[in-house]
Amino acid sequence: MKRILKIFILTVLLFNIANISGFANSGPTYWYGSDSSNIIMRDNCPLIVEKETLEFDIYNQLDEYYSENDAEEFKTYTDKFTAEYTFYNPTDKDITAQLAFPLGMMPEYVNLERDMSKYSVLLNDTDIEKEIRYTKSDDYYSFDYKQEVLKLADGYIEDDFYSPDMPVTKYTLIPHINEEADYRQEIRIRWDSSISDKTRILPLRINSFQWMPENIVEIGGSLTQKSPIVIYAIGQPFEKFPEYSFYESGRKDAKEIEASVEIMQEETTLARLLEELYTEINKKWNVSLMDTYNIFVSSITNEDYYTKAGIIHTEDIYYYSENLICWYLYEITVPAGETVINTVTAPLYPDINLKYEPKKYSYEYLLSPAKEWAQFNDIEININTPFYMLETNQDIFEKTETGYVYKGAGLPDGELEFVLCDSETPQKDNNSEYNLFMFVYIVLPVGLFVGVIILFVVLIKNIDKKKKNRK
């Protein structure tokens, strides 16, 4: 029987998508899109990259925003990125490598379900089996590939407190209050954080948090008949439900009022709870229960103001879907002394600078991870586009009839960045909403503030002058 050396290597072809940066009530002036990257290795691997061919097919110009109403129009967007790697196995044993290709986050200017038909992974021109996985990035705007790939656990991650089958008790507080009152009624619950080694709580619809003496944390939430407050006790159930009081508002000095709640109790597990909380989004994005659990636990184990009190902040629940990175996991086998071609394709989502007419589109590709391979030989970069390349940090491209091309031995220094536009001389929009925003929210307030200070100084000097004259 032929001996096969299996080396499982988690490698990454990065296709990170950052997020929106915009201004309230003014319309965005800049949308963040996607960064792309070379395959990187987590462990040492003897495979050699004989050649990498990068193809950027850029023929469309995105508008500012795409929602469900624009789904049909967005289907016509075909810009894509393809990386073709020719791997050579110099050893006398077959090598099986496990690869990870991040499809990235959906850009904020595309509020649609991910169209998986626009992605593909091939081995020698044949589709191969792949697994869809998800992790959550800690950084809203950048992507650390070495850090993110570590989050792709093979199973449920281990934690000193949480486990998938951990018991969870759901307490539903149904209020009996004066619905005709002309004030917002609130309940304040006093949680003993000293028992957080046995029980931690996830309160929903809570809007206040305050430390009290003796490790007591007071949490408060508005009471309405239609929206009961729910508290999940994760771990041991309460021996006795925490003390609570009712107030006529959320103010600290609010008057205590008479009211009551009926407390309903249900039992479940942490895994089933997460499945229930994220049913809709998991169906939309095809997120597995294992990844849901791992994302949840990794998000709440950071030592912050709330976790120190044994409380899971509702932001960890409501913003679960933000910064979700989708991955393909797959395996390739390179026979001893032979070569294979691995091809990955995904859509391109550029940064869009709306402050220019016509708009400017920025792209970035990380070249440096390819330096981790045992050997990297040749590279070819083809930017197929009818648009003008206004800027690039790599002075290596030649203009062709179909766009721009570079062929060379080894990797260029640094990363690859370039900016495309429909015009060689785009004009800055001096009448944009951005300028109006800057004037109304930045220049005007600062000017008024400085003016008030000057006026105050002048008045003080005049008063001092008059006092001196009187003397």
Q: Helix and strand tally (H, E) in the chain?
A: 8, 28
The count of domains in the chain is 3
pLDDT at 7 over 80: no
For residue 336, count other CB atoms closer than 10 A to its CB.
Answer: 15
pLDDT at 19 over 70: no
pLDDT at 347 over 80: yes
Q: What is the mean pLDDT of residues 101-120?
A: 76
pTM for this prediction: 0.74
Task: Give yes or no: residues 436 and 347 share one domain.
Answer: no
Tell me the C-alpha distance between 287 and 284, whole Å.
8
Does residue 180 lie within any of the structural domains?
Answer: yes
Give residue 336's pLDDT: 95
Task: Give yes or no: residues 99 and 136 share one domain.
Answer: yes
Q: What is the pLDDT of residues 186-225, one digit of tens each?
A: 899 999 999 889 999 999 888 888 888 888 999 998 877 6
DSSP 85-122: EEEE--SSSBEEEEEEEEEEPPPTTB-S---GGG-EEE
Task: Give yes or no: residues 57 and 81 share one domain.
Answer: yes
Task: Give yes or no: residues 178 and 83 share one domain.
Answer: no
Measured CA angle at 348 (ends 345, 350), to 5 deg: 160
Band of pLDDT at residue 175, cut at 50, 70 and 90: confident
The one-character DSSP state at 4 is B
Give the range of the structural domain holding residue 115, as residue numbers without chain letter. 11-140+322-422
Task: Give yes or no: residues 446 and 372 share one domain.
Answer: no
Task: Give yes or no: residues 249 and 366 share one domain.
Answer: no
CA-based nearest residue to 90, from 124, 44, 45, 40: 45
Average pLDDT, the chain: 80
CA-based nearest residue to 267, from 229, 300, 236, 307: 236
Does residue 408 lie within any of the structural domains?
Answer: yes
| Stated length of the chain | 471
Does residue 287 lie within any of the structural domains?
Answer: no
Task: Give yes or no: residues 36 and 59 share one domain.
Answer: yes
Of 204, 237, 271, the residue at which a domain comes to its end is: 271
Task: Return the higher-pLDDT residue of 103 and 128.
Answer: 128
Does residue 118 lie within any of the structural domains?
Answer: yes
Give residue 110's pLDDT: 75
Give residue 163's pLDDT: 96
Task: Give yes or no: residues 407 and 438 share one domain.
Answer: no
Task: Give yes or no: residues 413 and 367 share one domain.
Answer: yes
Task: Give yes or no: residues 445 and 412 share one domain.
Answer: no
Measured CA angle at 10 (ends 288, 329), to 5 deg: 35
Q: What is the pLDDT of residues 396-433, one digit of tens each?
A: 999 999 999 999 999 898 889 999 999 999 998 765 55
pLDDT at 303 over 60: no
pLDDT at 29 over 50: no
**Least confidently predicted of 23-27, 227-231, 373-377:** 23-27
Q: What is the mean pLDDT of residues 16-30?
A: 30
pLDDT at 38 over 80: no
Task: Give yes or no: residues 100 and 202 share one domain.
Answer: no
- C-alpha to C-alpha distances, 246 to 102, 171, 177, 189, 193, nearest whole angstrom: 49, 17, 10, 9, 21
Give residue 210's pLDDT: 87
Of 236, 271, 306, the residue at which a domain comes to its end is: 271
Tell me the C-alpha distance between 345 and 121, whole Å.
7
pLDDT at 17 over 80: no
Task: Return the higher-pLDDT residue of 468 and 250.
Answer: 250
Task: Give yes or no: residues 30 and 126 share one domain.
Answer: yes
DSSP 311-357: B--THHHHTTTTTEEEEEEEEEEE-TT-EEEEEEEEE---EEETTEE
**Least confidently predicted of 19-33, 75-89, 158-172:** 19-33
Give residue 49's pLDDT: 93
Give residue 128's pLDDT: 94
Give residue 260's pLDDT: 87
Tell me the C-alpha distance between 39 and 17, whole Å.
16
Give residue 12's pLDDT: 44
Tell me the C-alpha distance between 361 and 422, whole Å.
9
Q: What is the pLDDT of residues 238-283, one digit of tens each?
A: 999 999 999 988 888 888 888 888 999 999 999 999 998 888 777 7
